[in-house]
Amino acid sequence: MYISEPEIRAALTYEALIPAIRQALIDYSAGLVTQPLRSVLRAGNAPGANNGWFAVMPVVAGEMMAVKTVTFFPGNTAVGLHTHLAVVELLSRATGEPLALMDGRLITEMRTAAVSAVAFAALAPPQAASLGILGSGVQARAHIQALRLIRPEMRDIQIWSRHAQHAQRLADETGARAVPIQEAAACDVVLTATSSPEPVLQGSWLARHALVLAVGATGGSLRELDDEAMLGSFLVAESRECVEREAGDVLLSGAKVQAEIGEILAGKTAAPSGQRMVFKSVGMAIEDLTAARLVWQARQSIQR
């Protein structure tokens, strides 16, 4: 069975995905998930920043297994294609039987935003009233939708992009404001969702109580946050192992992960109060399996 992106869009909601991702992150930090580090190969299709990559992400959890193959080709924008493309295969853990093959692009988009929504709910200051977004692409849009579910009263959303017209278009479509980067960076919560190879967010711009959700620029040589932002913050990761291997924000700054979000959610570690925090995510296969399971279950209920 192949499940297309339109079918996934009809079956998968943030209302179901966010709590499922929350439990998946708790299970991961509790050692209930078998998930090797992703294997990444460079495509060698183009020089420099347009060189794409291909990754394989397997996982075993609960009653199911899954493997996602995902590609990132920065040059796709110029030819009208998504930069991230993916396929998820869902299998029975009991028999190894393939259950479904799904388009993985939307799953990747939504589970990334859902992870940030879980972190936002756990870590954002109670008084947080403003959200600044660096970036204006797919993840910026998805995060606005997901974070509004967590805190609908937070209506002050400010967007910056290297391309001012892109920021203005997204702002017009979502009821946000397009602003200079320093203004977006001064918000209570700051989302970095860029593919920048070098820091775009300076720690000196951040509020002392800010929460930074850093989801972009995945790769050991890429980073969105400067040393001051990283070293002056309490660092929370979705996975120590994944972030310390794959995140340039961590590797190039020398910052140390002080807690996994699953540990905080389970009450095993307390998040500091009134201190600036950075939540760094790079994406994990358990998140893809969690989303794919929801799609599968929704399809099964329809067929009954």
pLDDT tens track for 152-196: 988 899 999 999 999 999 999 999 999 999 999 999 999 999 988
CATH number of 2-107+286-303: 3.30.1780.10
DSSP annotation of 293 reads: H
Bridge partners, 158 (sequence order) = 132, 177
pLDDT tens track for 74-111: 888 888 898 889 999 999 999 999 999 999 999 999 99
What is the predicted pLDDT for the residue at 10? 96
C-alpha pair distances (Å), 214 with each of 31, 77, 248: 24, 22, 11
Burial class (CB in 10 A: 0-12, 13-18, 19+), 6: exposed
pLDDT tens track for 194-250: 988 899 999 999 999 999 999 998 788 889 999 999 999 999 999 999 999 999 999
User: What percentage of residues in the chain have a pLDDT greater than 90?
Assistant: 84
Answer left, alpha or beta for residue 204, where phi above 0 means left and psi between -120 and 50 means alpha: alpha
SS3 assignment, position 251:
helix
pTM (predicted TM-score)? 0.95
| 304 pLDDT above the threshold of 70 | no
**What CATH architecture does domain 126-282 belong to?**
3-Layer(aba) Sandwich (3.40)
| 49 pLDDT above the threshold of 80 | no
Task: Report the range of poorest mean pLDDT among 22-26, 108-112, 123-127, 217-221.
Answer: 217-221
Query: What are the extents of the domains in the chain?
Result: 2-107+286-303, 126-282
| 113 pLDDT above the threshold of 80 | yes
- Determine which helix (DSSP H) or strand (DSSP E) holds 236, and give its type and residue range: strand 234-237
User: What percentage of residues in the chain have a pLDDT greater than 70?
Assistant: 99
* Banded pLDDT at 50 (limits 50, 70, 90): confident
Cα distance between residue 181 and residue 196, in whole Å: 14
Cα 123 off chain centre by: 15
